[in-house]
Structure 1
Amino acid sequence: MAALDGSEAPAKLKGKYAAMIVCWLLGIGCLFSWNSMLTIEDYYVYIFPHYHPSRVLTLVYQPFALGTIAVLTYNEAKINTRLRNLFGYALFFLSTLLVLVLDLATSGKGGIGTFIGVCAISGAFGVADAHVQGGMVGDLSFMQPEFIQSFLAGLAASGALTSALRLITKAAFDNSQDGLRKGAILFFAICTFFELLCVLLYAYIFPKLDIVKHYRSKAASEGSKTVSADLAAGGIQTLLKPEAQEDPKQLERLSNKELLLQNIDYAIDMFLIYVLTLSIFPGFLSEDTGTHSLGGWYALVLIAMYNVCDLIGRYIPLLKFLKLESRKSLMIAILSRFLLVPAFYFTAKYGDQGWMIMLTSFLGLTNGYFTVCVLTSAPKGYKGPEQNALGNLLVLFLLGGIFAGVTLDWLWLIGKGW
């Protein structure tokens, strides 16, 4: 059997790299819809000029995500992981399709009714995110660290991909009548297809990979009740080891409270990473960086640079000598990121667009790097059910940080009027 720290499974098991690719694609699907909505902010700012869509949509999204993940984390040990993740990806697919339907039904016209509809879809994205992100991070936490790293890289890749597509569609339709709307429609059509692909990947491909079945069987033998449906989908019956049947104490696990107390520094790390990032991205970058020579492309370039560097940052820890694992060093480094707040303030006020692009790139790079360092280091040394629970707890603090960040983002508007 593989060690609890996620070391290599037996060599005869195949599918490691296939699993990494599927995890990467599922990571993209987890945030593809939401990033698409963020990336077409120029379209929403155009049709909803008085409603601050770049801030309001994020603020609507987060309570649904945070409330849902809190309930799911509390009940994590009893939840069928397969149904949880399938529900999440299916909700992403249906909600993304609704964005298209709403825009076509209203012919791209604004108004409070349409904006409320877009906000409702944003809330649905939050519910779906809580199901998928917590469920997948928890599920992958008792597998190999490379799997969770690939999933996290996929989350960032979704941002980079949406930014690239947005730049392409903006360029393609920039000079055509109603170009913003045509680009947005094409954007969400691609996104809808991809979310359907993720439903099929998780339902029919991922559970049948040998290495995935190996780790899920191992987690089940350690008392996990969340993997039985996935094992059945992979053609495996859930069996406990004979010694575990004779000695139920082997199936005992730490409570969520005990896990949180042992890993409170990691939880605080996740909160601090995202409270800083979301207090700046995307609202401040979309609305508060002034007018520059790039014109309407400026906010898109900033968001694209953040997303690309976030993706690069998530691959840096693959180089072992660059991976930061010391718990004390992680906390110090993450706290030092808060120096970016005055840096962004003074750059927006006095600096040119080159300095702003550099700062935004650094924000993305450190966000991705520290996220992977924390989430791949924290689960080590625990049994499968505990690793699953810890993964859910850390995602809860991640989403809590995002919610606090998007709330604090409104402080940039002080003194500027509405």
Structure 2
Amino acid sequence: MYTITASNATAEPRKPGGKYKAMVVCFILGLGSLVAWNSMLTIGDYYYQLFPKYHPSRVLTLVYQPFAIGALIILTYYQSNINTRLRNLAGFTLFFSATFLVLILDLATLGRGGIGHYIGICLLTACFGIADAHIQGGMVGDLYFMCPEFVQSYLAGLAASGALTSLLRVLTKLAFEKSNNGLRKGAILFIAISTFIEFLCIILYAFFAKLPIVKYYRSKAASEGSKTVAADLAAAGIQAEYDDKQEERLSNRQLFMENIDYAADLILIYVLTLSIFPGFVYENTGTHQLGTWYPIVLVAMYNVLDFISRYIPLVPWLKLESRKGLLIAILARFLLVPAFYFTAKYGDQGWMILLTSFLGLTNGYLTVCVMTVAPRGYKSPEQNALGNLLVLCLLTGIFTGAVLDWLWIIGKDSF
């Protein structure tokens, strides 16, 4: 055991190895941060069968987001004094419990619809939102004072959850399409796999604290005055002590104003994405030759391209770092709104698949570009705070987009 103090840790130790092992763990933790929620979205066709009049893909998104944003606002305000280890473990535990209860609820109701089952699904969706606020803000804030590759791996894991669930949805549809209750069997398999992944993440997060390179970064953060790492350092056998005198740090308001363009970038990225995906994909794209496969293919193409695109910024000359360039690219992306409208009205399924793929490609690429550039130049406590603020902006964009998504069904008979 050794001690890191804020006053005497002036010499920066050499970085230990284990970077790639930490990146793999970050990827899996990212996967676990959204796999449960993405499973709920991906089995949307099952919920449309159970609750055809309740717009499940749109309603569940609207239930999820206010709880995620509300919890994250509180956690962001108090983040400098919150035990990050307890926060993240609580988030993964809540995800595990809620996912398991979704499975139990379906088994208890024997896969029947009804308002009681639907309310139960909505309540568990609210738990997903609270868990998301704990994990995404906590993990991004924690990784922000480490290295950009960890942030990129975590963000890639978030997208991989969508790609994985889409792949599983294709496989389960192939396996159960002709069997009795095939949709329900596929949905149960989805939720069971998600429950296992959430349990695995609880174990992996405890292991993450003991990786040498993670201990190095957290020790460095402690030397710069970050108190959120104390519990993780203690779990790794390191005691962090602090002097009463700490350097003056920027407030949350000052950080937000200095990075208001990055905040706007994330809001605008997800306002557009969620105003189209998944509600528009399920309810507004019409019927085509692919039949019941059509929404599944669209969701899969979005998720796969979103995942792949998050690795593009690893190539230095392909990474967009200009603040002005990022904003221009994000604003230009709003041309997709009329493109989707006219394609749904006049185009065939090939053009819609292409557009949905491009939506996923730009979503993942621009998200990683913004999130990995933003924390440069700040001390560890400020990077942690900025990570929480940017995740809050991201969730705000998701919620706003989910609300705007309802505009697509104005005038439709199903409304």
Tell me the TM-score range normalised by the shorter chain.
over 0.9
Runs (4+) off by over 6 Å: none
Q: Distance in 1 between matches of 2:296 and 2:128?
A: 22
Match of 2:388 in 1: 392
Match of 2:154 among 116, 126, 151: 151
Query: Which residue of structure 1 aligns with residue 269 of structure 2?
Result: 273
Which of residues 188, 191, 215 in structure 2 aligns to 1:213? Answer: 215
Among the aligned pairs, what percent are the same residue?
71
Query: What are the residue-to-residue correspondences of 1:35-50 with 2, within 5 Å?
Result: 35-50=38-53
Following the alignment from structure 2 to structure 1, what is the Cα–Cα distance between the partners of residues 120 and 317?
48
| Corresponding residue number in structure 1 for 2:29 | 26
Query: Match of 1:301?
Result: 297
Superposed CA deviations along residues 73-126 of structure 1, whole A, max 9, x for unmatched, are 111111110000000000000000001000000000000000000001111100
Q: Secondary structure at the match of 1:238?
A: strand
Q: Residues 264-413 of structure 1: matches in 2 within 5 Å?
A: 264-413=260-409
Residue deviations 1:10-63, cap 9 Å, x none? 666021001000000000000000000000000000011111101111110010
Report the equivalent of 1:225. Answer: 227
The 3-state SS of whatever aligns with 2:240 is coil
Gaps of 5+ in 2: 5-11
Q: Which amino acid aligns with 2:285?
A: T
Give the TM-score of the pair, scaled to structure 1: 0.95
Cα pair 2:64 2:128 within 8 Å, conserved? yes
AA partner of residue 261 (structure 2): D
Quick check: 1:166 aligned with 2:169?
yes
Structure 1 residues 148-180: Cα deviation after superposition (integer angstroms, max 9, x where no partner): 000000000000000000110111000001111
Alignment-derived partner of residue 91 in structure 1: 94
Greater alpha carbon shift after TM alignment, 10-19 vs 99-108: 10-19
Which deviations, in whole Å up to 9, do the C-alpha atoms of 1:304-348 show, x marking residues without a partner?
000000011110000000000000110011011000000000000
Deviation sequence 1:187-213 (CA, Å, 0-9, x none): 11111111000000002x100000000
Residues 85 and 249 of structure 1, relative CA distance in 2, 3 Å threshold: closer
- Measured in 2, the distance between the counterparts of 1:10 and 1:237 equals 16
Aligned pair partner of 2:196 in 190, 193, 197 = 193
8 A Cα contact 2:15 2:216, kept in partner: no
Q: Which runs of 5 or more residues in structure 1 are unaligned?
A: 2-8
Residue identity in the other structure for 2:108: A
**Alignment partner, residue 255 of structure 1:** 251
When the two structures are aligned, how many residues end up with a matched partner? 404
Q: SS at 1:34's partner residue?
A: helix
Give the whole-Å Cα distance in 1 for the aligned partners of 2:215 and 2:15. 13
Deviations 1:341-379 (A, max 9, x none): 000000000000000000000000100001100110000
**CA distance in structure 2 between the partners assigned to 1:99 and 1:31 by the alignment:** 15
Aligned mates of 1:288, 1:119 — CA distance in 2: 23
SS at match of 2:292: helix
Q: Closer, same or farther in 2 for the Cα pair 1:96/1:249, shift >3 Å?
A: closer
The offset of 1:239, in angstroms, is 3.3
- Aligned partner of residue 377 in structure 2, secondary structure: coil
Q: Is the 8 A contact 2:259 2:374 kept in 1?
A: yes
| Alignment partners' CA distance in 2, 1:188 and 1:415 | 35
Aligned to 2:145: 142
Give the conservation status (yes or no) of the 8 Å contact 2:288–2:349: yes
Q: Structure 2 length as normaliser, TM-score?
A: 0.96
